[in-house]
Amino acid sequence: MTLHVGIDLGGTNLRAAAFDADLGKPHDIHKELVGDARDPASIVERVAIAAERFANSGGASGPATLGVGIAAMLRDRRGMVANSPHLHWRDVDFGGLLAKRLGSRWKLGIYNDVNAITWGESIAGAARGCRDVLAVYVGTGIGGGVISGGQLVEGATNCAGEIGHVKVRWDDTALPCACGGRGCVEAYVGGSYVVKRIAAELPTKGKKSLAISLAGGIEHVTPGHVDRAAEAGDDWALALWTELAPLLGVALGNAVSVLNPERLILGGGLLSRTPTLYALVEVAVTIAVPSASIEPLTIVPAELGDEAGLVGAANLAATGTSVFSA
Amino acid sequence: MTLHVGIDLGGTNLRAAAFDADLGKPHDIHKELVGDARDPASIVERVAIAAERFANSGGASGPATLGVGIAAMLRDRRGMVANSPHLHWRDVDFGGLLAKRLGSRWKLGIYNDVNAITWGESIAGAARGCRDVLAVYVGTGIGGGVISGGQLVEGATNCAGEIGHVKVRWDDTALPCACGGRGCVEAYVGGSYVVKRIAAELPTKGKKSLAISLAGGIEHVTPGHVDRAAEAGDDWALALWTELAPLLGVALGNAVSVLNPERLILGGGLLSRTPTLYALVEVAVTIAVPSASIEPLTIVPAELGDEAGLVGAANLAATGTSVFSA
């Protein structure tokens, strides 16, 4: 019997789980902090130990598959990491190092974390049974994943889904983005940018905002407070949300026009705490998309939370998507 | 031996060709004008006759496949036409009518014309051997096709690729588009809109433009003359092209960021006659796309011309993409 393992290697946590042959629910979920030792050799060793832990407890030496979702931009389908801001890696052959460390028993697949999450939602979550899916996660940054005709869209070099870096401004006022570009939707609606903008505007434009009393002080205001203020009709909060929602809505809507998905999943730490912004974004998507593509589309929140990446990575590897071995 | 036929049903011409088993070069290409009788029954009859012509000349009654590329927005994978401005059709069950007329001998596939063209270029043209492709055709309007992981991206209801209707403006000044929306890239860079804008601006802003003398009179100016004037440094022509190129460039670049293709094909009647605009669009795409997705990308002009749709439709049907029969 083949052992199937999924690992989610994020900026904060390393999660691992084993799966039965039906690849449904994970069992025996293991979680540890990524911590400070983030050099490639240390991380490879810890990922390998997390995978082998199940191998040893389950049954020792049969065939095994390991899918890893990693918070990184990849350069190929064998785990070459072009860039991972979280791990401070550039041009690291993560796949090659891990395959060598684990040995030929293991078949490996290395995936972008949001692609793995998207696949997980299509297996067991908000897009169960859907063959054409767009999933967009608005947390600190903005990431996306695409499924077309039942297949994960990986792209030529495994970096499809980068919807955070589509341009929504291209005039002289376009804001700089951490990616090095300007006018990316992430530079307007990504969580870290929204938080900075709130902090910058509160003492001036936002000084009379309801968000401040809701938070119990100007230094405690989060996007969640701004959202509740906007819902209550607060001028500043509503102006901010109605500026940002169409930017994200157009970015999503334009991708829908090109891809014609049946399901658009909206998730991530920012959108899950800002229901008013979520509703405004839904409206903006509906306006931006031609009717032939809006009719078959359902917009839903993500369902699986932290498990999505584990389920997705394990399933992609177990079903042979871009797998390799030492 | 199975007979394979491809048909391209456009706004002006109906083209048909038979293919050998290797599905490469078409032979015996037949072409007729679509003409005035555009009601569904008349068109179905003529498409059926064009297909059966090969059946009768080749060998009478064996199995046969027919792929049809049609200038229409589809609603499903069985040839239900939501809307075809060229044929003046709305909600016509073209696939059902054609399958009934042809009988069970024929396996049928009905595709959007630009999707068929894109597939043709990937079989025998500018994207030969590529697994991840975006093709965009700027003619009267703007259409697109996407191939991902070697599969045509059809979308949930077979209307993927509608890049002409991605939004590039969403403020109060956004121009209306024939689709009913506003701010679509087609409403700025689609050929019919460019021609109208040139005609509107020539007597005022463009009255000193070199394009007028190149054309031999203000009433003869085409986008090709504007392109030559822009290349020569003409102020008005250059201002127009440098306004339009980033709009198309951003629309293309944003799709590249989401899809990570290895090949971007640019074709169509407008772009094939405006090399200066083409070059400006190439630059705009390069600026709009993050480096990880621009590195693997090659931008090339379309190669196959009128044959692309025949090759693509015949190949899609012969290889079983969304085929059905009576």
pLDDT digits (tens, 9 = 90+) for A215-251: 999 999 999 999 999 999 999 999 999 999 999 999 9
B290 → closest Cβ in A153, A179, A255: A179
Q: Is the sign of the CA dihedral A253, A258, A263, A266 positive or negative?
A: negative
Kindly state the percentage of chain B with pLDDT values over 90.
86
| Domain definitions of chain B by residue range | 3-120+306-318, 127-301
B288 and A167 in contact by Cβ < 8 A?
yes
How many other C-beta atoms are found inside a 10 Å radius of the C-beta of residue B97? Answer: 18
> Are A11 and A309 in contact, with CB atoms under 8 Å apart?
no
B74-133 pLDDT per residue, tens:
999 999 999 888 899 999 999 999 999 999 999 999 999 999 999 999 999 999 999 999
Rounded distance, CA B153 to CA B169, Å? 26
B2 — pLDDT class (breaks 50, 70, 90) = confident
The pair of three-digit structure tokens given for residue A273, joined into one six-digit string: 């705490």
ipTM of the complex: 0.94
Q: B163 to chain A, minimum CA–CA distance in Å?
A: 5
Same CATH topology for A3-120+306-318 and A128-301: the answer is yes
B132 and A155 in contact by Cβ < 8 A?
yes
Contacts of A170 in chain B (CB under 8 A): 246, 250, 288
Q: Which amino acid belongs to residue B300?
A: V
Whether B24 shows a pLDDT value over 70: the answer reads: yes
The pair of three-digit structure tokens given for residue A325, joined into one six-digit string: 């071995």
The chain-wide mean pLDDT, for chain A, equals: 94
Contacts of B73 in chain A (CB under 8 A): 292
Whether B6 shows a pLDDT value over 90: the answer reads: yes
Optimal mutation site among B111, B114, B153, B258, interface A, most CBs of chain A within 10 A: B258
> In CATH terms, is domain B3-120+306-318 a member of 3.30.420.40?
yes
- Bridge partner list, B44: none
Q: Report the SS3 class of residue A122.
A: helix
> In CATH terms, is domain B127-301 a member of 1.10.10.60?
no
Instruction: Compare all CA atoms of chain A with the CA of B155 and give the residue at the minimum distance.
Output: A260
B73 and A155 in contact by Cβ < 8 A?
no
Rounded alpha-carbon distances, angstroms, from residue B244 to A56, A211, B184, B185, B194: 62, 42, 12, 9, 9
How many other C-beta atoms are found inside a 10 Å radius of the C-beta of residue A232? Answer: 13
Residue keyed to tokens 């994943």: A145
Q: What is the mean pLDDT of residues B298-323?
A: 95
Rounded distance, CA A246 to CA A189, Å? 10
Q: What is the mean pLDDT of residues B286-310?
A: 94
Q: A283 to chain B, minimum CA–CA distance in Å?
A: 14
Rounded distance, CA B23 to CA B314, Å? 8
Q: A30 to chain B, minimum CA–CA distance in Å?
A: 32
Optimal mutation site among A146, A254, A263, interface B, most CBs of chain B within 10 A: A254
Q: Which of B225, B325, B207 is nearest to B273 (CA)?
A: B225
Rounded distance, CA A211 to CA A235, Å? 11
Kindly state the percentage of chain A with pLDDT values over 90.
86
Q: B159 to chain A, minimum CA–CA distance in Å?
A: 6
A258 → closest Cβ in B73, B163, B253: B163
A260 → closest Cβ in B132, B155, B179: B155
Q: What is the mean pLDDT of residues A6-22?
A: 91
Instruction: Compare all CA atoms of chain B with the CA of A171 and give the residue at the minimum distance.
Output: B246
A28 — pLDDT class (breaks 50, 70, 90) = confident
Beta-strand ranges (E) seen in A94-182 are 106-112, 133-138, 142-148, 151-152
Select the CATH number that applies to the domain covering A128-301 from these four: 3.40.50.920, 3.40.50.10800, 3.30.70.1350, 3.30.420.40. 3.30.420.40
> Are B165 and B179 in contact, with CB atoms under 8 Å apart?
yes
pLDDT of residue A250: 98
Residue keyed to tokens 């401040």: A212
B258 and A290 in contact by Cβ < 8 A?
no
Residue keyed to tokens 């991380």: A43
Whether A60 shows a pLDDT value over 60: the answer reads: no
Whether B179 shows a pLDDT value over 90: the answer reads: no
Whether B60 shows a pLDDT value over 70: the answer reads: no
Whether B58 shows a pLDDT value over 60: the answer reads: no
Rounded distance, CA B277 to CA B252, Å? 14
pLDDT of residue B20: 83
Q: Which of A158, A153, A105 is nearest to A132 (CA)?
A: A153
For chain B, the residue count is: 326
Phi, psi of A56 (to 5 degrees): -75, -40
Strand ordering across the sheet containing B142-148: B151-152, B142-148, B133-138, B263-267, B298-301
Q: How far is CA B204 from the centre of its chain?
A: 33
> Are A130 and A298 in contact, with CB atoms under 8 Å apart?
no
* More confident site: B83 or A116: A116
DSSP per position, B16-71: EEEE-TT--SEEEEEEEE--S--SHHHHHHHHHHHHHHHHHHH-SSS-EEEEEEES
B258 and A255 in contact by Cβ < 8 A?
yes
Contacts of A297 in chain B (CB under 8 A): 156
CB pairs under 8 A between A and B: 156
A181 and B149 in contact by Cβ < 8 A?
no
Phi, psi of B245 (to 5 degrees): -60, -45
Q: Report the SS3 class of residue A37.
A: coil
Q: B296 to chain A, minimum CA–CA distance in Å?
A: 7
A156 and B261 in contact by Cβ < 8 A?
yes
- CB environment A267-304: b (16+ within 10 A), e (fewer): bbebbbbbebbbebbeebbebbbbebbbebbebeebbb
A170 → closest Cβ in B250, B259, B262: B250
Q: What is the mean pLDDT of residues A16-25?
A: 85
Instruction: Compare all CA atoms of chain A with the CA of B250 and give the residue at the minimum distance.
Output: A167
The pair of three-digit structure tokens given for residue B81, joined into one six-digit string: 């036409």
B254 and A253 in contact by Cβ < 8 A?
no
pLDDT of residue B57: 58
Residue keyed to tokens 């860039």: A83
Q: What is the mean pLDDT of residues A96-115?
A: 96
> Are A237 and A209 in contact, with CB atoms under 8 Å apart?
yes
Q: Report the SS3 class of residue A249.
A: helix
A258 and B148 in contact by Cβ < 8 A?
no
A27 — pLDDT class (breaks 50, 70, 90) = confident
pLDDT of residue B28: 84
Q: A163 to chain B, minimum CA–CA distance in Å?
A: 5
pLDDT of residue B56: 65
Kindly state the percentage of chain A with pLDDT values over 70.
98
The pair of three-digit structure tokens given for residue B185, joined into one six-digit string: 């890239």
B45 — pLDDT class (breaks 50, 70, 90) = very high
pTM summary value = 0.94
Contacts of A155 in chain B (CB under 8 A): 132, 148, 259-261, 293
Q: Is B1 exposed, middle or buried (0-12, 13-18, 19+ CB in 10 A)?
A: exposed
B166 and A83 in contact by Cβ < 8 A?
no
